[in-house]
Structure 1
Amino acid sequence: MKAIVYKKFGDSDVLQLVEQPIPTLKADQVLVRVKAFSINPMDWKIRKGEMTLMSGSAFPKHTGTDFSGTVEATGSSVNGLKKGDKVFGVVKNMMKEGASAEYVAVTSSLVWKKPENISYPQAASIPVVGTAAVTALEKMGDITSQKILIIGASGGFGMFLLQLLKQRGAKVTAVTSSQGAEYAKKWGAHSVIDYTKTNVLSNNALYDTVIDLSGKIGYDKAKQIMKAKALYLNPTPKPIEIPMSLLKNLLRSKKHRVILSNPSTKYTDVLLGAVKNGLLIEVNKVFQFDQFREAYQYAEHGGYSGKVVIQMT
């Protein structure tokens, strides 16, 4: 089978297309013929060597975490899935595995049936950012009276989070570019701040929760727009921020919490319910498999709304 790998850390030019054997199934695994896989920021953070404490430095490495496709075979202990089923899923360990191949073998508990009303690229966009969005909701607690700010709200994470908050009746201010404002409003933002025209840090407003999806503000700057007992959520922490935020939170009222999420049926059930209730999945651009370098370059450059997906030809 064809697979995308890299044998050293670096930019998208280190990605290579190689031939590899089709994975051998374990008893609890499902073999999926991949139709599409999505691109997430963690893909290039790992590839650039920013996460070596967790990913290690053994090569070759794959890329891609969430995917969609059809079941090709099932392990001897798998129930509820059969050959030909249309599915989507996620690899068990994004630091060590990848979905950037024609076939992927995944634990059956991380594979779910694809809703008929969404495409393969849309389904491949769900697990990683969708789970992160549901995890963020859990950390926010009671949102009924909260004043919420989402910075960088027009990407894939923001797309899910804005709509989930809207379905729960929350009022949210979104910070986006002028191009992303239309999507943020469509997804449920109550108001939008165009960061090219207004500096949100000097906007004379205070928030109960600040969610920095852009990774460009940081807790130290966000403190100035947070209420006395507010929450700062960080979905793109540096490794050192994970333990340090826990320690420092013991001494401060304005909390800094990182979002560490692991896709599971618990979260997927919430997301599938939201899709059934009208949640929109915007796929900004679909690249073909042989355009993988261009796809990652496009995704890393940013400035788009929704998700970027690579589709098998």
Structure 2
Amino acid sequence: MKKVIYSQFGDESVLELSEQAVPTIEKDQLLIRVKAVSINPLDWKIYGGEMKLMSGSKFPKSVGIDFSGIVEQTGLAVTRFKAGDAVMGLLDAFKGGALADYIAVKETDLVLKPANVSFEQAAALPVTGLSALQIMDQLAAVGPNQDVLINGATGGIGVIAVQMAKKRGARVTAVVSTKGVVEARQWGADTVVDYTKQPIKLLNQRFDAVIDLSTKLSFTEAKRLMKPKAVFVSTLPSPLTLLSAFINNFFSGQKRRVLILKPTVDGFTTLAKLTEEGLQIVLDKIYSLTNVRDAYREVRRGKGIGKSVIVLD
């Protein structure tokens, strides 16, 4: 089977399409024939060597976190799925490995693919959807009548986060480029700020939650946008940011929290239900596996709206 691997840290040129044996599953695993895999910023931060403390430095390594596919085989202890089921799921964020024709997965890392979405849309959902759920429910605890700022609202998580925040009754301000103004309004944002025309740092409003999905707004800059008991959420964990957040939260009413994705079966179930109820999944571009290097180069430039995915034959 084909699988994307890399044997050293670097840019997209380190990614290789290799021939590997089809995985052998254990009794609590399923063999999945992969149909599509989404592209996540964490991917290039890992193969670029920025996350060595969390990913380790043992090679070869694999790429790809969330995916969709078909169940080919089930282990003896598997009870929730059967061969032929269409599913979506995700692998360990720091190990990856979804960019392969076949993968071995535990059933707790899967959910049935909602019938009203394509395999490409389903692959784009687990990381973004579960991240948005965790931010809304746990990190920011977004509720009715709260003022929520979402910076980077046209990215993969942002598209979902805007919709979820509105569903919870919040007043949402979405920060986007000119290209995303119309779309952000379509997703339900109450106010849309084009950062190319109005710098976010100059906003006069104060918010109960400032969610930075662009990774370009620092906590220091965000403080002036926050109410005294507000929460700032960022999405790039590192030992330094986690330590800074821990110290800050002892002494300040303005809390700093960092997303570390923790998938759960309940989260998957909620996400599937929201999708069946009409949650919009926005795809930017679809690439083939043979163009994996170009796919990551283009997505890394950050000009798209929504998620890009790689399809496997």
Give TM class, smaller chain: over 0.9
CA distance in 2, matches of 1:224, 1:217: 12
Show the counterpart of 2:52.
52
Q: Which amino acid aligns with 1:304?
A: G
Shift of 1:10: 0.8
Shift of 1:166: 1.7
1:131 and 2:130 aligned = yes
Shift of 1:116: 1.3
Show the counterpart of 1:216.
216
**Contact 2:142–2:168, Cα closer than 8 Å, also in 1:** no
Q: Which moved more, 1:57-66 or 1:238-247?
A: 238-247
CA distance in 1, matches of 2:110, 2:209: 32
CA distance in 1, matches of 2:80, 2:150: 38
Count of aligned pairs between the two proteins: 312
Shift of 1:220: 0.8
1:102 and 2:69 aligned = no
1:122 and 2:121 aligned = yes
Shift of 1:266: 1.1
Partner-residue secondary structure (3-state), 2:78: coil
C-alpha offsets along residues 61-99 of structure 1, whole Å, 9 cap, x if unaligned? 1111000111111111111211111111111x2212310
Q: Which moved more, 1:247-256 or 1:13-22?
A: 247-256
**Contact 2:36–2:67, Cα closer than 8 Å, also in 1:** yes
- How is 1:249-288 mapped onto 2 (pairs within 5 angstroms)? 249-288=249-288
Shift of 1:34: 0.4
C-alpha offsets along residues 249-308 of structure 1, whole Å, 9 cap, x if unaligned? 101111111111222211111111211221111111100111111110111110111100
Q: Which amino acid aligns with 2:35?
A: K
Shift of 1:244: 2.3
- How is 1:1-313 mapped onto 2 (pairs within 5 angstroms)? 1-91=1-91, 93-138=92-137, 139-313=139-313
Query: What is the TM-score with the length of structure 1 in the denominator?
Result: 0.97
Q: Which moved more, 1:149-158 or 1:160-169?
A: 160-169
**Contact 2:111–2:269, Cα closer than 8 Å, also in 1:** no
Partner-residue secondary structure (3-state), 1:209: strand
**Contact 1:164–1:274, Cα closer than 8 Å, also in 2:** no
* CA RMSD in angstroms, aligned pairs only: 1.1
C-alpha offsets along residues 92-138 of structure 1, whole Å, 9 cap, x if unaligned? x2212310100000111111111111000101111111111000012
Shift of 1:140: 2.1
**Contact 1:68–1:88, Cα closer than 8 Å, also in 2:** yes
CA distance in 2, matches of 1:169, 1:208: 13
**Contact 1:129–1:156, Cα closer than 8 Å, also in 2:** yes
CA distance in 2, matches of 1:142, 1:41: 24
CA distance in 1, matches of 2:309, 2:246: 35
Structure 1 unaligned blocks of 5 or more: none
Q: Which amino acid aligns with 1:303?
A: K
CA distance in 2, matches of 1:31, 1:242: 35
Shift of 1:207: 1.1
CA distance in 2, matches of 1:254, 1:115: 38
Query: What is the TM-score with the length of structure 2 in the denominator?
Result: 0.97
Q: Which moved more, 1:243-252 or 1:154-163?
A: 243-252
CA distance in 2, matches of 1:287, 1:2: 16
Q: What percent identity do the matched residue pairs reach? A: 43
Shift of 1:142: 5.0
Shift of 1:29: 0.4
CA distance in 1, matches of 2:215, 2:195: 14
Q: Which moved more, 1:228-237 or 1:172-181?
A: 228-237
